[in-house]
Chain A
Amino acid sequence: MLQLFDLSRLFGDKRAVDRVSLSIGDGEMIGIIGRSGAGKSTLLRLINRLIDPSEGKIVFDGTDVTALHGKELRAWRARTAMIFQQFNLVNRLDVLTNVMCGRLYEIPAPRVLLKWFTPTERALAIQALERLGMADVAMNRADALSGGQQQRVAIARALMQRPKILLADEPIASLDPLNAKLVMDALADINRRDGITVLTNLHTLDTARTYCRRIIGMSAGRVVFDGAPEGLTERVLCEIYGQSDQEALDERLTSTSLPAAALAALAG
């Protein structure tokens, strides 16, 4: 169980994340929605400890994550895998090496320097790639792949970490609808089959509704909604997206996903 207690992060005077308290059970799949600048990315980066909180505490299964440093901090990052909007792969390395990077936290320094991986690590990486249908391109350079393929390689890298929690920061914002669906399906599959908690920032409401049983709405750094998608009434959405009453929020305008018929046509 992951618990956040009054978690805040200040950039200068601005509170990017403002006293957020949440309790996240094991195996949940949660979508975080909100306007850009609402603090969604900062929240995920705080949980992974890529950035340090200004106030508050993160507790996982009774351990104070905010107090970790050095090797323990790196072990925590390894347990909370992260997926980025821009994939954040190493372009100049091949796909296989990128995936094997997922085990870097436990690889001793001499092997890091020599870029030397064991056959077991290679096999695990191929398994992870195979699961995402990417084993064929294992020897290609990462930047030779399309955005959707790169994101799936990034997911394979995350799997390689054998994480407890998967944090996805706008994983489909740079992808076309078909690839977006592939990536979201992969995340849902990982959540269901491996029981990994998935926390994902999403910029489209319908994706959140489709894939997540629990949705967290953020506005100006604060959590303004936390519940099932059914609870997202017009009034709640206005609070999250700051829309005035006159401009009714049209979900179709912000949607990047394909209607079912179109997807069926593409698949056939």
Chain B
Amino acid sequence: MTALDPTGDPAYRLFQQRFGALRRSRQTESALTVAAVILLFVVAAVWTDFSPEKMVNGIPRIGEYFGKLFSIEPKRGADPIAVLALPHLFGGVKEPQSIAYWFYRIGTYATLLWQTIEMAILATAIGFGAAFALSFPATRTFVGSRVIVFATRRLLEVMRTIPQVVLAFILVWPFGIGPLAGILAIAIHTTGALGKLFCELNENADLRPVDGIRSVGGSWLAQIRFAVVPQVLPGFLSYALLRFEINVRSSTIIGFVGAGGIGQELKRVIGFNIYEEVSAIVILILLIVAAIDLISEQIRHRFIGAAA
């Protein structure tokens, strides 16, 4: 006996009769989607001058720049040597190729880095407060008036869509060059970004406690304060810490437009082609950002643990 061809099965034939056309139209649909994506990629590559040739030619030059970053000229016009060497590693400030020589301005950097972190702390705190307050009127399940929800949502949208650097640039005009403009710029963006995330947490909040507080005659404020905030606060704090990590990075970049902190110094040394100082600052920023990431991850896990 030979095995029956399963495609000859009446059940399969019935399926083909009923759904064959549907299956074919779905296949056509996916084929068209793939084609469209490829087309978009090619068009984008042409428009943005993205050529593989240029990319391959450019790669060795990345190394070139890194070479400059990690070498010094001990005397004017002398041949560059590596920024560090083992025999001199722990030498004094005046001894080339020692850590102390490379980071001779560590005091200034530390002050500026601390300023940068303070900018991030302040901006995150202000943004958290504003996002906290705005997230409740922006949540559909809590607010009857569509106008209020719509208006608050659009406001949050505007706050997070304007690039921070542009905001800082605008704010440097009224508030002058310095950290204040940077703090406000980051705070505004933080409000928009956190506000949206907070809204989503609010929408997922259990509504039964809200009903409970409403049934005892609690005002809207009481419903939010007693039934919603206890539910969403751990999530809010977790998102705020994540945002703080992002804001430390942002506050270094924002210094480039004159908004204070280590970024302003980084821009200066890049402008003057002081390569070893560029590398020193970049390494410090990397270390600080990594340390903050680690610490805040620990704290966030504690929040999530408390929520469980």
Partner of B231 from the list A48, A87, A92, A115 (CB cut-off 8 Å) is A92
B226 and A93 contact, CB distance less than 8 A:
yes
* Of the residues B209, B226, B230, contact of A104 by C-beta under 8 Å: B226
Specify the chain A residue showing the minimal Cβ separation from B214.
A50
A84 / chain B contacts, CB cutoff of 8 Å: 208, 211-212, 215
Answer whether residue A86 sits at the interface, using C-beta atoms and an 8 A cutoff. yes
B48 at the interface (CB under 8 A from A): no
Q: Are A88 and B212 neighbours in the complex by a CB distance under 8 Å?
A: yes
Whether A90 pairs with B217 at a CB distance below 8 angstroms is: no
- Shortest CB-to-CB span from A96 to chain B, Å, is 13
Q: Does B62 contact A (CB under 8 A)?
A: no
Q: How far is the CB of B38 from chain A (nearest CB, A)?
A: 47
Q: How far is the CA of A45 from the CA of B181 in the complex (A)?
A: 52
Contacts of B211 in A (CB 8 A): 50, 84, 88
B226 contacts across to A, CB distance below 8 A: 90, 93, 97, 101, 104, 112, 115
- Nearest Cβ on chain B to A41's Cβ, whole angstroms: 11
Question: What chain A residues lie within 8 Å of B214 (beta carbons)?
Answer: 50, 77
B227 contacts A by Cβ under 8 Å: yes
Q: Which residue of A lies closest to B206 (CB)?
A: A91
Bound-state Cα–Cα, A103 to B219, Å: 11
Whether A101 touches B215, Cβ cut-off 8 Å, given contacts A93-B226, A112-B225, A115-B225, is no
Q: Which residues of B contact A225 (CB under 8 A)?
A: none
Taken together as a complex, chains A and B put the C-alpha atoms of A103 and B216 apart, in Å, by 7
**Also in contact, A50 and B215, with CB within 8 A (given A90-B209, A101-B226):** yes
Inter-subunit contact A78/B216 (CB<8 Å): yes
Measured as residues with beta carbon below 8 angstroms from the partner, the interface class of chain B is 10 to 19
In the assembled complex, B292 has its CB within 8 A of some CB on chain A: no
Q: Is B158 an interface residue (CB 8 A)?
A: no
Nearest B residue to A114, CB-CB: B225
Which residues of B have CB within 8 Å of A157?
A: 212, 216
What residues of B have a CB within 8 angstroms of the CB of A81 in the complex?
215-216
B221 in the interface, Cβ–Cβ < 8 Å?
yes
For B215, the chain A residues whose CB sits under 8 A away are: 48, 50, 77, 81-82, 84, 88
Closest 4 CB pairs of A and B: A105-B217, A88-B212, A78-B217, A92-B230
Q: What residues of chain B have their CB less than 8 Å away from a CB belonging to chain A?
A: 206, 208-209, 211-219, 221-222, 225-227, 230-231
Residues of chain A at the chain B interface (Cβ within 8 Å):
48, 50, 74-78, 81-82, 84, 86-93, 97, 101-105, 107, 109, 112-113, 115, 154, 157, 161
Question: What are 28 residue pairs bridging A and B, where the CB atoms are less than 8 Å apart in the complex?
Answer: A50-B214, A74-B217, A75-B217, A76-B217, A77-B215, A78-B216, A82-B212, A82-B216, A84-B208, A84-B211, A84-B215, A88-B215, A90-B226, A90-B227, A90-B230, A91-B206, A92-B231, A101-B216, A101-B222, A101-B226, A104-B217, A104-B222, A105-B217, A109-B221, A112-B219, A112-B226, A113-B221, A154-B212
